[in-house]
Amino acid sequence: MEMTLFPNIFRLLACAAICLSLAISGCTNDPLTQKGRMADMEKEKTALANQNDSLNTRKNDLEQANRMSTIELASNKQQMLILQDEVTLVRKQLSDTTERLAAAQQEKAALDKRIAELSKAMDRQAGIPIEPNNSLATIETPVFPGAASRAENGSIHIEIPGTTLFERGGDQFTPHGIQLLRQVAGKISQTYPGHKVTIEAHANTLHQTSTQFQSKMDQTAAQAMMIYNVLTQDSIFSRDQLSVSACGTGKPLVSNSSEEGAARNYRVELVVKPN
């Protein structure tokens, strides 16, 4: 009986295995299961498509960024070339400036040396009286009515007040002024025949200049030329004897702080030079 039982058990197990296999095979071919698997596959396909789109978008962004970087790199290279040219130009200018500075320093050193040599020469001559060959020293300075005279640096200066010669602040002569000028100039020509004469016109800082002039310098230039024209047209002096100098307010004799001082400084000087 026991020997019969074992074969039966084996038969039952074999049948159970066959049934289980058939059951599993039946589940696999079940339409609902297949539909679920298709849905999962569609989801996976959609996910892969979205991922591919995302990757394509990222790729396009990277390509655009690469193009922009390439353009920026080219621009930077161009700017670098321009900067290199500018640096080269600045270096050349600096080199030229350095050379000019060195030349100027050499010239200054030579000038300083010359000044030092002249200073030594003057120091050696200090205390030795030097008598200039002055042709005016032997001529007695005459008296000029209406004008003052003085000796200065070997020359004779004859001062004529500007207020006497000219209308206020202008270059037009007063009637008395032009008469006085001719008298003084005639006496200078007789006393110092052949000597050169400089016409110096001076102004002061106190009185206003006529509106016809932009500055005191212009005023004195015009006044000096008016005197030059009168003295040459009247043939009191030849043209090569006379020269003019517009001094403006640059050579005051006294302070301009008072009316008296300003009146003294507003003047014309006929400066007789030694031969």
Render pLDDT for 164-211 as a digit per residue (tens, 0 to 9): 999 887 889 999 999 999 999 999 999 999 999 999 999 998 876 677
Q: Tell me the C-alpha distance between 122 and 120, whole Å.
A: 5
CB 202 within 8 A of CB 265: yes
Residue matched to tokens 């106190």: 206
User: Is it the case that residue 9 has pLDDT exceeding 70?
Assistant: no
Mean pLDDT across 252-271: 93
* CATH superfamily of the 148-272 domain: OmpA-like domain (3.30.1330.60)
17 pLDDT band (50/70/90 cuts)? Answer: low
The amino acid at 271? V
% of the chain beyond a pLDDT of 70: 79
Whole-number pLDDT of residue 54: 84
Measured CA to CA in angstroms, residue 202 lies from 135, 266, 268 at distances of 27, 6, 6
193-207 exposure pattern, b = at least 16 Cβ within 10 A, e = fewer: eebbbbbbbbbbeeb
Whole-number pLDDT of residue 14: 59
Q: What is the rounded radius of gyration, in angstroms, for the C-alpha atoms of the chain?
A: 58
121 pLDDT band (50/70/90 cuts)? Answer: low
Whole-number pLDDT of residue 100: 82
> Among 89-98, 168-177, 180-189, 222-231, where is mean pLDDT lowest?
89-98
Mean pLDDT across 92-114: 79
Residue 165 CB partners (closer than 8 Å, separation 6+)? 173, 174, 177, 178, 180, 181, 223, 227, 268
Report which of residues 192 and 52 the model is more confident about.
Answer: 192
Whole-number pLDDT of residue 95: 83
**Dihedral angle sign, alpha carbons of residues 172, 177, 183, 186:** negative
Mean pLDDT across 9-14: 58
**Secondary structure element (H or E) that encloses residue 248, with its range:** strand 242-248
User: Is it the case that residue 127 has pLDDT exceeding 50?
Assistant: no
Whole-number pLDDT of residue 134: 60
Mean pLDDT across 109-138: 59
**Dihedral angle sign, alpha carbons of residues 111, 114, 119, 122:** negative
Mean pLDDT is highest, among 27-41, 106-120, 161-175, for 161-175
Mean pLDDT across 16-45: 67
1 pLDDT band (50/70/90 cuts)? Answer: very low
Q: How far is CA 125 from the centre of its chain?
A: 46
Report which of residues 263 and 26 the model is more confident about.
Answer: 263
User: Is it the case that residue 129 has pLDDT exceeding 50?
Assistant: no
Mean pLDDT across 73-83: 86
Tell me 136's DSSP state: T
Residue matched to tokens 């030059």: 228
- 151 phi and psi, to 5 degrees? -95, 135
Count of alpha carbons within 13 angstroms of residue 118, beta-carbon side: 6
Residue matched to tokens 């003047």: 267
